[in-house]
Amino acid sequence: MTARAAPLPPIRPDRQDAHLIGLVGIAHLISHFSQLLLAPLFPWLKDEFAASYAELGLLMTIFFVVSCIVQAASGFVVDRFGPRPVLFGGLALLGAAAFGFASSHSYGMLAVFAVVAGVGNGVFHPVNYTLLNRKVQPARLGHAFSVHGITGSLGWALAPAMLVPLTIAYGWRVALMCAGMLAFAVLALLWFNRAQLVLEALPAPKAAAAASAEHSFAFMKLPAVWMCFGFFFFYAAALSGVQLFAPEAARLLHSVPIEWAAMCLTIYMVCSAGGMVAGGFLAADPARCERIIGVGFGTAAAIALVIGFADISAFAVPLLFGAMGFGAGIAGPSRDLIVKRASPPNATGRVYGVVYSGLDIGQALAPLVFGTLMDMRQPKLVWLGIAMVLGVLIVNAFNVRKARRTSLVTAAA
């Protein structure tokens, strides 16, 4: 028996594809923006609620644990009801959570709205990738994934750039209310462009009705799906190490001025966005995705080892952060394409929901490991850990390809 082939998207003009990619990208920006609603405000929240940094960090753990659970489940909802209503619900919850944070008068209220924000954040990857994979022409998917990754990086960059100045000028409550207004503004934009987000249902596969429930979970038997899950778990672990601890670890190792260290993450994210642009062109040929991942993450791992163990000047550190970000960014679109190639037809939302829940789990657990290394005064081990995780990503990508080929041979037999 041969595997059922996924239908190709109907031919669409370039402008329609660009319109859809832009709308999905803006929604993704708000998702990443919401992940950093509280972290830049920790110094103010600590004083306001007499909370320790560990308690404030627990709010982020709550956010990502809830997001992980919702992300795995929302893929099934997307496949059943379509991505548009789920996307609108997610944006509305993020906006409501931001206003909820702004009105909080106790730590418990912050925790409640962290749950609300986690539910809202959990829907975006299943929604976005279902829309892109089902509506964008295959030849443009590399560019679509590139834009998707870039807007996510810009969302991370926008949160502190917007919230901290507003907090200094008007207070943290006003800053969070402005964040909520931004989320609702994007929701209004998507509502007025809702016709672009319509997705026609795929015809149901010809199978016995009794087997329909089993069919819904059949993708979970594919080894490639779980290897992709592991890939994103380790990707999130490396990203958490870079975002939360790498600048401080580099500052301790190379006497980097504190203002330069603060710039390192911004430089990394901007260069990562540039790398994603290049990676979108390189990923136009899906057959070379694994090699692109190998080169991109391999370069980033080598630079991590240089920062961690070489005798370099403080001036070189921000430059190396930029080069590392560019290398990781190049791998971004290919990273998303290997999931698409591992997804069975009519299960895109479910696969992306399960696979991308690895991101949330990695972001919830990795800070505990890297934070412990920093508490042990071992900044070199932070960089070694980042490099090792990047190496695991390369091996994992090639294992996904091997598992996918095995599944295809089995299906065709």
Q: Which of 151, 168, 199 corresponds to the end of one domain?
A: 199
Q: Indicate if 130 and 243 belong to the same structural domain.
A: no
Q: Indicate if 192 and 336 belong to the same structural domain.
A: no
In a domain, 4, yes or no: no
In a domain, 211, yes or no: no
Six-digit token string for 44: 């103010």
- The boundaries of the domain holding residue 226 are 221-413
- Ordered mean pLDDT values, 10 residues apiece, the chain (413 residues): 48 78 95 88 87 80 89 82 92 97 96 96 89 84 82 85 89 96 97 87 49 55 76 88 84 85 80 86 76 92 96 94 94 75 61 75 82 85 95 83 53 43
Which string of DSSP letters, residue by residue, matches 145-181? HHHHHHHHHHHHHHHHHHHHHHHHHH-HHHHHHHHHH
Q: Indicate if 229 and 296 belong to the same structural domain.
A: yes
pLDDT of residue 347: 55
**Tokens 């996307």, located at residue:** 87
Supply angle C-alpha 134, 139, 145, rounded to 5.
65
In the Cβ-directed half-sphere of 18, how many Cα atoms lie within 13 Å? 3
In a domain, 230, yes or no: yes
Q: Indicate if 157 and 89 belong to the same structural domain.
A: yes
Q: Indicate if 237 and 194 belong to the same structural domain.
A: no
> What is the 8-class DSSP label of residue 241?
I
pLDDT of residue 409: 42
Task: Count structural domains, the chain.
Answer: 2
Q: Please name which of 295, 271, 326 lies closest in space to residue 394, comparing C-alpha atoms.
A: 295
In a domain, 207, yes or no: no
CATH number of the domain that 176 lies in?
1.20.1250.20
Q: Is the pTM of this model over 0.75?
A: no
Amino acid at residue number 275: G
Q: Indicate if 249 and 398 belong to the same structural domain.
A: yes
φ and ψ of 234, to 5 deg: -70, -35
Q: Indicate if 283 and 146 belong to the same structural domain.
A: no
Q: Indicate if 27 and 168 belong to the same structural domain.
A: yes
Q: Indicate if 114 and 253 belong to the same structural domain.
A: no
Q: Indicate if 407 and 276 belong to the same structural domain.
A: yes
In a domain, 168, yes or no: yes
pLDDT of residue 85: 93
Cβ count near 275 (within 10 Å): 30
Contacts by 2-11, CB closer than 8 A, 24 or more apart: 2/411, 2/412, 3/344, 3/408, 3/411, 3/412, 4/205, 4/345, 5/345, 6/344, 6/345, 6/346, 7/202, 7/345, 8/138, 9/134, 9/135, 9/136, 9/137, 9/138, 11/137
In a domain, 210, yes or no: no
Q: Indicate if 72 and 144 belong to the same structural domain.
A: yes
Q: Indicate if 368 and 281 belong to the same structural domain.
A: yes
In a domain, 5, yes or no: no
In the Cβ-directed half-sphere of 121, how many Cα atoms lie within 13 Å? 32
In a domain, 239, yes or no: yes
Q: Please name which of 317, 197, 188, 187 lies closest in space to residue 248, comparing C-alpha atoms.
A: 317
